[in-house]
Amino acid sequence: MLAATALAIAATAGLATPAHAADGTPLRVAMTADIRSTEPGVNRDANSDMVVMHIVEGLVAFGEHAEIKPLLAKSYAISDDGKTYTFTLRDGVTFQNGAPLAAQDVVWSWNYFMNPKTAWRCHGDFDGSGGAKVTSVDAPDPHTVVYHLEKPYGLFLGSLARPDCAGSGVVHRDSVNPDGTWNKPIGTGPFMLNEWKRGQYISLVKNPHYANQGGKLDGFTGSKRPLVDEVRFMIVPDDATAKAGLQRGDVDIIQDLSYSDVKTMQAVKGVKVATSPVMSLTALLMQTRDPLLSNVKLRQAIVHAIDAGQLVAAVGDGLMQPSTSMVPLISSYYDKTQQEAWKYDPALAQKLVRESGYKGQELVMMATKRYPETYSSGVIIQAMLQAVGINARLEVQEWASQLDRYNSGKYQMMVFPYSARLDPSLNYEMMAGNKDKQPRKVWDDPKALALIDSSSQITDTAQRQAQFDELHKLFLADAPMMPLFNGLDVGAFRDTVQGYTPWALKRARVWEVSRN
């Protein structure tokens, strides 16, 4: 009965049954919810971004380890004062309607998305209200685009490449109706929009005009050949239905499998599972303005009392590795210095507890079951702290309540999940700042704040690396929080699928993917 029910649900979701499968069946990717729109970076969510990024491309994009690399640009140059970015376009790139890409198309797209009426998600990141202020964009010749900034901003290229901005994708002006309303994306990507059957699927077909960059698979750049004629992103809200469909062969790829399902799916004949670290972070936060936790020796006692390896092995079911750096494991800035960590040392923790003057007062640690890994981490941390004489109590909160306490800074400790940030400066910025103005901030050391601000302005990779290394050492000494682990991108797919790989930005990519 259960199998029959799942089959019926699959049919209503648009999944083919084995009786209807044929060589011409599209590559089918299951996702839990429909997209919001096809307009890049407008009325968007993560699923919308994932689909649209197969259709549109920008001047630059994130590579496999979230480093910035050219995409529609074959090269770029930054002026000595950091205020002018000159992009040289690749030769031979065409839009999906066959029109050649020219610099003026980049300018037109930029002006369209920066028009406040468009309601582009990233308008505020470029108009001076946050991040960069782009004063003008010029096309001095058909192959050159020049961006002028009011002042230097080292994260400008990363802002252009952000998936929630749709990579600042360049679209042909025929993407817009004559009355100025949005029609459909006509980009330069490897796939183009074929059909959006709301609530059922989004069909993309191979772009016959795609100008491949070559090389190897590399994030949102590198080689992006469309190796199948059609891809269908199937709306399958129920996890059990998606897993049943994968096992039967009605689904080819589940792009966001839960950690708890990994071992089960690994045991299924005809199914493979792959994982990759991502940029999200789960951490133990400590309120440094709390009367007890303002004592750095007590904070140091806490971090030395936690066996991060044992915790992460238990919480991640052996899939993840611990990291106590604010720089994600997958980042190109994660180096030997970032590997330095607090040593698990219960004896040292007990010594620091005594030296701190702690008298056994209760310390409340918040966690939520909304995110099971945070709750499980809290249970383990509570036991480890109690083992060294710290009277820790775990308090389970509804997510909305915990988020309110986080934003107001009204807590002693909490296990908290941070969403992905795509640059180490942004990782530090999300937890560091002036607590008087932003109570949610965890770390307010003046020297650290100055380094974070500087790392956001400069563009030289070696200089930025040195600043992140210095920040990490300050962070270890002050212990305002304890990073525990980065998240995982987990993908499950039929063994007939070739070339599918999870990666740092946790967005499914179906270019360079084929099926036997």
Question: For position 32, which CATH number holds?
Answer: 3.40.190.10
pTM for the complete prediction? 0.84
Average pLDDT over residues 189-198: 97
Same domain, 408 and 470: yes
Domain count, the chain: 2
d(CA 86, CA 145): 6
Tokens of 93: 């790139």
pLDDT 10s digits, 451-483: 999 998 888 899 999 999 999 999 999 999 999
Ramachandran category for residue 479: left, alpha or beta (phi over 0 → left; psi -120 to 50 → alpha): left
What is the span of the domain harbouring residue 370? 278-487
**Three-state DSSP state, 330:** coil
Q: What is the domain-level CATH number for residue 428?
A: 3.10.105.10
Per-residue model confidence (pLDDT) at position 18: 34
Per-residue model confidence (pLDDT) at position 7: 36
User: Does residue 471 belong to any structural domain of this protein?
Assistant: yes
Same domain, 100 and 167: yes
Burial of 214 (0-12, 13-18, 19+ CB in 10 A): exposed
Same domain, 183 and 51: yes
- Checking if the pLDDT of 2 tops 60, the result is no
* Strand-strand pairing, 392-396 and 253-254: unpaired
Tokens of 62: 């994130």
Residue 240 phi/psi, 5-degree rounding, is -60, -40
Q: Nearest Cα to 234, choosing from 265, 278, 259, 203?
A: 203
pLDDT 10s digits, 40-72: 999 998 899 999 999 999 999 999 988 999 999
User: Does residue 3 belong to any structural domain of this protein?
Assistant: no
Q: Are 508 and 253 in contact (CB under 8 A)?
A: yes
Same domain, 60 and 180: yes
pLDDT 10s digits, 341-383: 999 999 999 999 999 999 999 999 999 998 888 999 999 999 9
Q: What is the mean pLDDT of the chain?
A: 92
Residue that has been written with the tokens 């300018």 in this structure: 107
Residue 112 phi/psi, 5-degree rounding, is -65, -50
Same domain, 400 and 466: yes
Same domain, 38 and 85: yes
Tokens of 296: 């750095």
Per-residue model confidence (pLDDT) at position 3: 37
- Checking if the pLDDT of 283 tops 50, the result is yes
